[in-house]
Amino acid sequence: MPRIALLQSRGFATKEEAFKHHETLIRDAAKGGANIVVTQELFLTPYFCTVEDPAFFDLADPLPGPVTDRLGQLAKELGIVLISSLFEHRGAGLYHNTASIHDADGLLLGLYRKSHIPQDPAFEEKFYFTPGDTGWPVWDTKFGKIGVLICWDQWYPEAARLMALGGAQVLVYPTAIGWLPEEKPTLGDAQHCAWETVQRGHAVANGCYLAAVNRVGTEGNTEFWGRSFVANPYGELVAKASTEKEEILYHDLDLGAVENFRRIWPFFRDRRIDAYDELTKRWRS
pLDDT in tens, 2-12: 999 999 999 99
pLDDT of 5 reads 98
CA–CA distance, 40 with 85 (Å, rounded to integer): 7
Number of domains in the chain: 1
- Each residue's pLDDT tens digit, 213-231: 999 999 989 999 999 999 9
- pLDDT at residue 253 greater than cutoff 90: yes
What is the pLDDT averaged over residues 97-108? 98
- Each residue's pLDDT tens digit, 26-39: 999 999 999 999 99
Domain assignment present for residue 126? The answer is yes
Catalytic residue among 49, 88, 114, 124: 114
Catalytic residue among 49, 88, 145, 151: 151
CA–CA distance, 73 with 94 (Å, rounded to integer): 27
Catalytic residue among 41, 124, 125, 219: 41
- pLDDT at residue 176 greater than cutoff 90: yes
Q: Is 223 one of the catalytic residues?
A: no
What is the pLDDT averaged over residues 244-250? 97
Domain assignment present for residue 274? The answer is no
pLDDT of 155 reads 98
Q: Is 245 one of the catalytic residues?
A: no
What is the pLDDT averaged over residues 141-159? 98
Domain assignment present for residue 283? The answer is no
pLDDT of 199 reads 98
* Average pLDDT of the chain to the nearest whole number: 97
- pLDDT at residue 285 greater than cutoff 90: no
Domain assignment present for residue 188? The answer is yes
3-state secondary structure of 202: helix
Q: Which helix (H) or strand (E) holds 222?
A: strand 222-225
Domain assignment present for residue 276? The answer is no
- Each residue's pLDDT tens digit, 50-64: 999 999 999 999 999
The whole model's pTM is what? Answer: 0.96
- Each residue's pLDDT tens digit, 104-126: 999 999 999 999 999 999 999 99
The CATH number given to whatever domain includes residue 95 is 3.60.110.10
Domain assignment present for residue 285? The answer is no
Q: Is 280 exposed, middle or buried (0-12, 13-18, 19+ CB in 10 A)?
A: exposed
Q: Is 246 one of the catalytic residues?
A: no
Domain assignment present for residue 272? The answer is no
145 confidence band (pLDDT: 50, 70, 90): very high
Q: Which domain holds residue 226?
A: 3-267
| Partner residues linked to 222 by β-bridges | 219
Using omega within 30 degrees of 0 as the cis cutoff, is the peptide bond preceding 174 cis? no
Domain assignment present for residue 190? The answer is yes
- Each residue's pLDDT tens digit, 235-246: 999 999 999 999
